[in-house]
Structure 1
Amino acid sequence: MAVSEKTRKIVWAEAGGRCAICRSEVVTPGTACDDPSVFGEEAHIVARSKGGPRAGGLDAGAVDGHANLILLCSKHHKQVDDQPGHFTAERLREIKAQHAAWVRLSLEETVQGRLRLVPDPSFPQPRALALVVRGNPLWNMIKTSVAFEYALPDGLSDDEEAQIVEFLDLVKDYCDIALDIDSVRGSRDAEKALESYVGKLAERGFLVGASLRRMLLIDGPGQVGTPWPILRVEVQPASLAAVADERGRAYFGEQRAQD
């Protein structure tokens, strides 16, 4: 699996367009007759090829995920690949985390009070999760979303938690690559994979719920805002589930008719 366009955007956004080691901007200004020059590179923390630096320990699907990529300038990309003894996988993950924290702090200091998420007034905000029993509705939510959040219950056995986390990782992976799946066959394969996991969880007494919050990312007063749909997926025991109306009010039996 190659690095998807969405994954590249995540890597560049988290790094603030700067090398995680020297923190230099990795795009030079353009000129009157030429476009800007890009010398930033998405470097693998754990190598894709078996003979590459820091190879091993990740399956094929995770190797090209954004968690295994770090944005570097071309100079430092060459250095970390030539010096894997110093730039171990653990060291690079630490560098990436520290750099991401620095970027967040820098943004908070420069745009504090300006950049924010607000509900999109064009869409009603969900007050309840939709029960997921088929892959198609969940896949449609995944294709629409730009952010993902999840919840799982407490008190799980190790086996139950492993199965639920595997499903949530699958959802997150599809969120990362959804924009690159543009064929009907690819979409159907995704739907079937999701539906299979939902079915297996149901057999163990767990239900999957999902919602899509339509938000706007606004930078400063008077701005129109960028659509920012957030997908939320929860896995909960069926014994704790309650039927709710469109306003999120739980009801049982004849209660709905009395409202």
Structure 2
Amino acid sequence: MSITDKTRKVLWGRSGNLCAFCKAHLVVDASALDAESVVGDECHIVSGAPSGPRHDPTLAPELIDSLANLLLLCRVHHKLVDDQPETFTADTLRQLKANHEKWVKDRLGQSVQPEPVRVVRTAAEIPTHLVLVTSAKSLLDLASDCHERYDDYPDDLTETDLDCVGAFLHNLTDWVDLGLHEPHERISAQRSLAENMSELDQAGLRVYVAREKQLLRGGAVAPSAFYALHLRIVRHDDPNQISLATQPED
């Protein structure tokens, strides 16, 4: 089964086009050059996948895509509740859904809206140096809870180098987006990324990273931490590299 058009319309209508967690608007207005952007997700409270968050084998398959099992969230809080299923249990999310839909119904037609959600950067938190990473485990430890990434790589990459870099960045994005809820998923991610990093090393390329702590403000909840990963790929002989005394990686 899949979510029906009617179910989607009812879910978005009862949710007021707002994230049930932070009350962020989930449809961004069109710009002068581009159409509107939908930045919300129809999230399953109970996953239909056996290894998915909050999976319940006793829930009938036909109820997985039902209105009662769906919650409207922004991309950030969708990832949060799926990364932390022990904190955000099925009962907790059902109560969150009920509270939000009541909040929307009570305030429908009112002009006052929550403060728009925005990410705030602090100069003191912006990294001044990136550290060499040689293991996929260390890279995943740094990247797994990051919601944003800043990538940089040499301008003079060959077609072969570009394929190698592109495959690595795409693979890292896919694994981080997956959430890595289970140990076997993390192990698979480490093996896959280790192959990418080995190919980069053979191509004469290194990976440097650092984390930046940002602040997510606005909506109806208190400000919360929002992490971004700075990732730069450089050549082995890049003269801008600085040798730093660091602890060995795991």
TM-score where L is the length of structure 1: 0.49
Which residue of 1 is the match for residue 13 of structure 2? 28
Cα deviation digits, residues 140-199 of structure 1 (max 9, x gap): 122121112211110111111111111111111112112xx2222221111121122111
**Residue number in structure 2 paired with 1:238:** 236
C-alpha contact 2:206 2:234 (8 A) present in aligned 1: yes
* One-letter amino acid matched to 1:159: T
Distance 1:203 1:190 in 2: 20
- The answer to whether the 8 A contact 1:205-1:238 is kept is yes
Which residue of structure 1 lines up, in the alignment, with residue 199 of structure 2?
200
Q: How many angstroms apart in 2 are the aligned matches of 1:224 and 1:37?
A: 21
Query: Whole-Å Cα distance in 1 between the matches of residues 145 and 39 of structure 2?
Result: 30
> The residue matched to 1:236 in structure 2 has which SS?
strand
Distance 1:25 1:227 in 2: 32
Q: Is 1:164 aligned to 2:149, yes or no?
A: no
Aligned to 1:119: 122
Note if contact 2:119-2:214 (Cα within 8 Å) is conserved in structure 1.
Answer: no
Deviation beyond 4 Å, 4+ runs, structure 1: 110-114
Instruction: Give the whole-Å Cα distance in 2 for the aligned partners of 1:102 and 1:134.
Output: 33
| 1:28-63 deviation line (CA, Å, top 9, x unaligned) | 23xxxxxx699xxxxxxxxxxxxxxxxxxxxxxxxx
Q: How does 1:67-78 map to 2 (within 5 A)?
A: none
3-state DSSP class of the match of 1:228? Answer: strand
**Runs of 5+ consecutive residues of structure 1 not aligned to the other structure:** 1-18, 30-35, 39-70, 73-96, 104-109, 247-259
Q: CA contact under 8 A between 2:117 and 2:216: conserved in structure 1?
A: no
Native 8 Å contact 1:135 1:195 kept in 2? yes
Q: 1:120 to 1:140 in 2, by over 3 A?
A: farther
- Aligned partners of 2:37, 2:16: CA distance in 1, in Å? 23
- Aligned residues: CA RMSD: 3.8
Identity of aligned residues (%): 15
Contact 2:127 2:211 in 1 (8 A): yes
Q: Quick one: distance in 2 between partners of 1:120 and 1:218?
A: 16
- Provide, for residues 81-140 of structure 1, a one-character-per-residue CA deviation record: whole Å limited to 9, x for no partner: xxxxxxxxxxxxxxxx6222999xxxxxx999983413398xx54321121100111111
Aligned to 1:100: 37
Shift of the 182–114 alpha-carbon distance from structure 1 to 2, 3 Å rule, reads closer
For 2:224, give the aligned amino acid.
T
Distance in 2 between residues matched to 1:26 and 1:139, nearest whole Å: 34
Task: Report which of the two has the higher share of strand.
Answer: 2
Secondary structure of the residue that 2:231 maps to in structure 1? strand
2:153 and 2:132 map into 1 onto residues whose CA distance is: 15
Instruction: Output the CA distance in 1 between the equivalents of 2:128 and 2:213.
Output: 12
CA, structure 1 residues 117+244, in 2 after alignment: closer, same or farther (shift >3 Å)? Answer: farther
Question: How far does residue 236 in structure 1 lie from its aligned partner after superposition?
Answer: 1.1
State the TM-score, normalized to the length of structure 2.
0.50
Q: Could you tell me which residue of structure 1 aligns to residue 135 of structure 2?
A: 134
Corresponding residue number in structure 2 for 1:229: 227
Q: Secondary structure at the match of 2:12?
A: coil
Contact 1:118 1:217 (8 Å CA) reproduced = no
| 8 Å Cα contact 1:120/1:215 also seen in 2 | no
Over 3 Å counting, the alpha-carbon distance change for 1:102 and 1:144 in structure 2 is closer
Q: More helix by proportion, 1 or 2?
A: 1
